[in-house]
């Protein structure tokens, strides 16, 4: 019999939930506004009602047809206890989320996990790294998020805060990061960094076709520079080459450290697909410490894109089964 | 009843073996020259004879009193099959070492592991990281070697080549490394790098007290610069400050990635003990991404120093029990 799982993507703006099958397909979905700030019990009730409505409206009986609710959220999560240590959006400390939801919905098991960890779980269970015992996801978005699977298990470390690969320095003494360090990977390779590099190049090159692609500099996004490159713009090419040089450097570090079977790239920038994969693969062929071995890492674009939050959370039920 | 284990440190110059107890104490030891180049069976016979002699000379019956032989060696080792994929000293490819030794010595189980991995196993079983489920060792020697324990298991990756932390770039475009990359951690933080930095500073500063400590520049070692610093030499202080800045940067990367309970420092440079631990701890207190948490990494000097090879290899029997 086919099994179904609820996944909840708990964000600061929206709480989005879906009913997901074992293949990572969302069959039904629903969301509500988070409307922060709120006391904890209000958010807990919103999650419970969302799950109940989602089931009622689509003919599922919660606690019978569906017995697993996964919740993915940014921040420091103890996935064993289901306690959210700290999440900057909500501001709660030591939020016993698993316990609270389980007490409000009978006969379900609740799993709570950091959203980057959920994303890599989704990829190894039903996505581009299916079946891999060693895999890493890097999401190139506002920052560089990361989730790591080692020997089939999420890398959490001693304090559930491991895998902050975005805060690995790759250029000592370089760009100042929000975290206080200088030269962090994410200061060169997030979508935010790429956008800021693009803007800087536009200001320095008034004749660049970047201005054609995006006449309003405030509207530059992670795609702008790739579009201008398509038009043969030299400035855009330089921005991309520089971006990819750092990205390949950071990814090669990850490969030398973990030697995973697959590295998945997600987040906005990963929409470039081959435009990223090809040059990074060439770099890996030169610099991967295991480049002479038969068994080597494969670089892929993550399967679950905008829905990674819901699907990753749902897959927690499969991962923990 | 107390249990005993044989550990074999298989190096290009010497093959050293010891009988070790569960606390990681070497009770008896013996070694022979490796005398490379040799065909594989000669080395196998040397290992077997060494283990037999060690037992005979000290009143142990091999296969009865001692049933476990661990072998630690540099290079790419598949610890599950006991096959040495490649080891640059020996030049053998796919050397079925476990199988060969087991066929020559009845009633013993043989474990083969990369030497950096053995070193961290020794530390979590009987050393400074005893009982830790998450630990990292960094050995500051000819290069920067590393072994990592995640969830109680050695990090080997998909192809048994993970944990090449020495080849994590921390200064993109920086010093050229033997591996082909530019800016690798080990090009700044190995003992070799420190010695080369010391020599360069001596040549640029003929008045430095470094010349007093070591009048013959060819004899500079990893201790020279610390000795000159003790004499109040400003040049030495600058070399050390620069060295520690990079070392702390790389260690903080390791902490942000793994969040281990303990990071152990081994190798020649680690003899400086507090002179290293104190400034790196200060750096971690500023830059560790988990610096605000209660549970944080502890930085320690590795327990097993010059004998880490033998003890680590012996502890493979405990680790795999």
Q: Which candidate, A71, A159, A141, A80, places its Cα nearest to that of A112?
A: A71
Task: For residue B158, give the nearest of A257, A136, A259 by alpha carbon.
Answer: A259
A212: left (phi > 0), else alpha (psi -120 to 50), else beta? alpha
Looking at the partner chain, which of A85, A172, A260 has a beta carbon nearest the beta carbon of B171? A172
Report CA torsion sign: B116, A165, B151, B255: positive
Burial of A147 (0-12, 13-18, 19+ CB in 10 A): buried
Query: Looking at chain A, which residue has its C-alpha nearest residue B94?
Result: A293
Is the pLDDT assigned to residue A240 strictly greater than 80? yes
Cβ of A259 within 8 Å of Cβ of B168? The answer is no
First-to-last alpha carbon distance for chain A, in angstroms, is 16
pLDDT at residue B250 above 90? yes
Alpha carbon distance A72, A113 (integer Å) = 5
Reported confidence tier of residue A306, pLDDT bands at 50, 70, 90: confident
Residues of A in contact with B145 (CB under 8 A): none
Q: Which residues, in sequence order, are bridge partners of residue B137?
A: B147, B264
The interface residues of chain B toward chain A in range 190-229, judged by CB-CB distance below 8 A, are none
Instruction: List B residues 43-82 in contact with A (Cβ-Cβ < 8 A).
Output: 76
The predicted-structure confidence for A27-45, as pLDDT tens digits, reads as follows 999 999 999 999 999 999 9
Average pLDDT of the residues in B290-300: 94
The answer to whether A134 and A181 have CB atoms below 8 angstroms apart is no
CB–CB contact A256 B295 (8 Å): no
Which residue in chain A is spatially nearest to B173 when comparing CA positions?
Answer: A171
Using an 8 Å CB-CB cutoff, list chain B residues near A153. 151
pTM for the whole thing?
A: 0.95
SS3 A15: strand
Extract the tokens encoding B15. Answer: 């093959």
Q: What is the structure's pLDDT at A88?
A: 76
CA distance A18 to chain B (A): 31
Contact of A88 with chain B, judged by CB distance below 8 Å, is answered with: no
Beginning with the edge strand found earlier in the chain, give each strand of the sheet holding B153-154 in spatial order: B153-154, B144-150, B135-140, B262-266, B298-301
Q: For residue A263, what is the nearest residue in chain B, using CA coordinates?
A: B158
Q: Sign of dihedral through CA atoms B27, B6, B60, B43?
A: negative
Mean pLDDT of A237-250: 98
Residue B90 banded pLDDT, cuts 50, 70, 90:
confident
What does the pLDDT look like over B253-262, one tens digit per residue?
A: 999 999 999 9
Nearest CA in chain A to B146: A257
Q: Are B210 and B234 in contact (CB under 8 A)?
A: no
Mutate to test the interface with B, among A161, A166, A182, A299 (most CBs of B within 10 A): A161
Q: Is residue B151 left, alpha or beta, with left meaning phi > 0 and alpha meaning psi from -120 to 50?
A: left
Q: What percent of chain B has pLDDT over 90?
A: 93
Percent of chain B predicted with pLDDT > 70:
100
């Amino acid at each position: 019999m086919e099994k179904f799982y609820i996944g909840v993507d708990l964000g600061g703006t929206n709480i989005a939930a879906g009913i997901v099958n074992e293949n990572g397909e969302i069959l039904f979905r629903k969301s509500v506004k988070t409307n922060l700030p709120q006391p904890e019990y209000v958010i807990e009730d919103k999650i419970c009602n969302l799950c109940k409505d989602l089931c009622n409206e689509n003919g599922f009986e919660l606690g019978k047809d569906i017995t697993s609710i996964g919740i993915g959220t940014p921040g420091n999560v103890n996935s064993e206890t289901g306690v959210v240590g700290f999440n900057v959006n909500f501001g709660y400390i030591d939020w016993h989320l698993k316990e609270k939801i389980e007490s409000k919905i009978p006969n379900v098991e609740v799993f709570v996990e950091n959203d980057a960890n959920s994303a890599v779980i989704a990829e190894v269970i039903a996505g581009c790294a299916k079946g891999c015992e060693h895999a890493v996801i890097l999401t190139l978005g506002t920052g560089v998020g990361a989730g790591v699977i080692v020997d089939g298990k999420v890398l959490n470390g001693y304090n559930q805060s491991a895998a902050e690969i975005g805060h690995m320095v790759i250029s000592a003494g370089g760009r100042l990061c929000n975290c206080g360090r200088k030269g962090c990977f994410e200061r060169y390779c997030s979508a935010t960094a790429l956008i800021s590099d693009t803007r800087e190049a536009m200001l320095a090159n008034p004749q660049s076709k970047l201005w054609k692609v995006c006449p309003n500099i405030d509207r530059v996004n992670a795609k702008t520079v790739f579009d201008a490159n398509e038009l043969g713009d030299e400035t855009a090419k330089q921005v991309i080459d520089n971006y990819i040089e750092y990205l390949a450097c950071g990814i090669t570090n990850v490969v030398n450290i973990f030697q995973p079977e697959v590295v998945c790239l997600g987040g906005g920038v990963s929409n470039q697909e081959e435009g990223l994969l090809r040059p990074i693969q060439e770099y890996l062929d030169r610099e991967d410490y295991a480049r002479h071995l038969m068994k080597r890492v494969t670089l892929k674009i993550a399967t679950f894109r905008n829905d990674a939050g819901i699907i990753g959370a749902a897959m927690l039920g499969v991962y923990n089964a």
